[in-house]
Structure 1
Amino acid sequence: MTESEFNDLVDTTLENIEYQLDDAESDLDYENSGGVLTVICENRSQIIFTRQAPVLQLWVATRSGGFHFDYKDGGWVRDSDGESLADFLQSAFRDQANETFSFDFS
């Protein structure tokens, strides 16, 4: 995958997340600046998405830690255990924002 293709994938993924957040019932704020998407939950905790073009990964920081995702076989998967980004985010937003989302990155 080229760096340009990677950046397009990350942009599409972040836009998908933003669309889901726009439909949230709680007061979630977000800012997308310089390829970094920062989501601020009502409780002031943050979920931060950053692109890491040199290693072709999407990194996600939550209050429980930092996680790295690779794009494989048409979807984002966590490098440590293969969990999908969609499943990971459902858990992360439930835990941090008490919100339920159904993400689809295909």
Structure 2
Amino acid sequence: MNITDYHQNIEKIWLSIEEQLEKNGADVDCDTQGSVFTITFENRNQIVINKQEPLFELWLASKLGGYHFSFKNNQWITNDGKLFWDCLEDACQHYGEQIHFSR
């Protein structure tokens, strides 16, 4: 993956997240500031998703923990096999939003 593909891939993910949250009526606010995408819940809890360009990684942080994802086999996955979309769903559910993201 080159740098352009990397950025395009993540921007598509961010757009998809925002669209799916809105479509499902989630009570959240989404904000993008540079390389950081933040989902803020009604109770002010946050999920932070950010680009790590030097490593070509995607990072996700919530109260459930922090995850570093690499793009392998056409999906974002941690070294121990956790998928980005599953971790995002778990974090949303932890904050009270039952969202099932389509990949």
TM-score norm. by structure 1 comes to 0.89
Q: CA RMSD in A?
A: 1.3
Instruction: Measure, in 2, the Cα distance between the counterparts of 1:37 and 1:20.
Output: 15
Runs of 4+ in structure 1 deviating by more than 4 angstroms, as ranges, are none
CA offset digits 1:34-70 (Å, max 9, x no partner): 1311110111100011100110100111012211111
Report the equivalent of 2:89.
90
Instruction: Measure, in 1, the Cα distance between the counterparts of 2:87 and 2:38.
Output: 16
Report the equivalent of 1:10.
10
**Larger relative contact order (C-alpha < 8 A, sep ≥ 6)?**
1
CA offset digits 1:68-93 (Å, max 9, x no partner): 111111111123x1111111111110
9-18 or 61-70, which deviates more: 61-70
CA contact (8 A) 1:69 1:85 kept: yes
Q: What SS class does the counterpart of residue 94 from structure 1 fall into?
A: helix
Report the equivalent of 1:29.
29
- Percent of paired sites with the same residue: 32
TM-score norm. by structure 2 comes to 0.91
Instruction: Measure, in 1, the Cα distance between the counterparts of 2:48 and 2:39.
Output: 6
How many matched pairs?
Answer: 103
Q: Aligned letter for 1:65?
A: G
Q: Aligned letter for 1:95?
A: H
